Structure 1
């Protein structure tokens, strides 16, 4: 399924200087504007600027420091954060301390290409990650590239493969069913806080299922449930009003109805071994991992 590339917004001078500096580095193959700015939907006038730089290798810290405006990044103010091995994005990142803030993420181009190959086979990994209660799928790397706007070089706008849609939509829905089943188990065991955690993970999983089932890439945003159309206003009010002390099996089943999920399907999902990882094909086993 094809994805049309976005056009880059007008860049203020500070952002343009950083982009030009990145583009001049030998290891950088493409620079793109990402996030809400690229989609033309900044949440506030002072929303951060997100820049993606796809690289062959990680530029030296000194090279990156020189991208900062005069007076910024002196002493200990410049920090390049490099992820541990196994991080879902295998990224390095730094912040340009100006207003609005500029966040630069350096992405290994080889990792993007590897993820394209996995998605084409309908395989992916779900990582524990702070942005959502239900975790982040590895194909977000492709979504991020497709929903960003090129300003230098080009890595293309990866298409959302039919094989990924076929595998991911049902897997996320099954995971939601299983999460609600576990919520009921926690209620029965007198562990309402654990039950609440699983209810929230179920809502997020339904959002992922509905979004990827449309065959289009989507961003990880604070409005994930809204963008997916997961719940109507009455159901949202009920979900937002949940507390651990009020959770009963009947309440969990009401949430399942709101989400249009059959709790009992969670047993079949477990019996098939789907909890061991989505899109399990051949030796290319996807897994649920931790960053």
Structure 2
């Protein structure tokens, strides 16, 4: 099931050259602009350009390097990185050394279709991922496709299925509640830095919960809390002014109220069901936790 895609922004010549080179690859089905440029919200004129290419098979690094030879004005040869199996994106990626910088990520189309099928039945996987606080859910693949603008070909723009909303919303709320319970445990143990980490993780989890509850995909963005409407002015002021030395159980409970989280109920229930351990409470690799 799809919906209307974002309108592509005007592409400067260097970006157009990259797009045309990717489009010429025989396995590439679609090239899209992603990130802040696609949403029309670049943080500055020098904001990076994020380009996605969806392919039947990932091109070899040598094939990608031939796209933009140094003599074409793109500087030194760029490095191509291919992710290991099990990586949340299963991608190849490279950066074109121009200004503004162009970051290109190639996605196997079969992986995206697989996640579409899983999302339709309310299933997703949590991955540890250093670019985001707390990791990413596997439906990030669908999110970035929905929040990108096609400039060549099309692979559809996924809707957020009701089954995923029903599964993910309580999971994120449970995670937020659990994080706040752990913050109180850290305060009691005299570990305020650990408590602060859990409080901030709770705010991020609430943002995820609120976006998915509205059937909205989320971007990997520095504006996640704002775009989700996860915190009002009072909550933002309290979180901004928090320091490890000021954290007490009472302050953590005030933050829970600000975020609209019933940590004593939702958090304990989340733990009791073993949601943090995977399906049925069975332990798994901490970098990969299946929701269903």
Same-fold status (TM-score > 0.5): yes
Q: Tell me the distance in 2 between the aligned counterparts of 1:36 and 1:287.
A: 33
SS at match of 1:252: helix
Q: 1:108-138, CA deviations, whole angstroms, 9 ceiling, x for partnerless residues?
A: 1111011001100101111122333232111
Please, what is the CA RMSD of the aligned residues?
2.1
Contact 1:168 1:209 in 2 (8 A): yes
Q: Measured at CA, do residues 71 and 13 of structure 1 come closer, stay the same or move farther in structure 2, by a change above 3 Å?
A: closer
Matches within 5 A, 1:154-193: 154-193=154-193
Structure 1 residue runs of 5 or longer lacking an equivalent are: none
SS at match of 1:30: strand
Give the aligned length. 285
The match for 1:275 is: 276
The match for 1:125 is: 125
Q: Tell me the distance in 2 between the aligned counterparts of 1:287 and 1:258.
A: 33
Q: 1:70-89, CA deviations, whole angstroms, 9 ceiling, x for partnerless residues?
A: 24353xx4111122221111
Matches within 5 A, 1:1-291: 2-68=2-68, 70-74=72-76, 77-265=77-265, 266-277=267-278, 280=279, 289=287
TM-superposed CA distance for 1:288, in Å, is 5.6
Structure 2 residue runs of 5 or longer lacking an equivalent are: none
**TM-score (norm: length of structure 1):** 0.92
Q: Tell me the distance in 2 between the aligned counterparts of 1:78 and 1:6.
A: 29
Q: Tell me the distance in 2 between the aligned counterparts of 1:15 and 1:236.
A: 37
SS at match of 1:264: helix
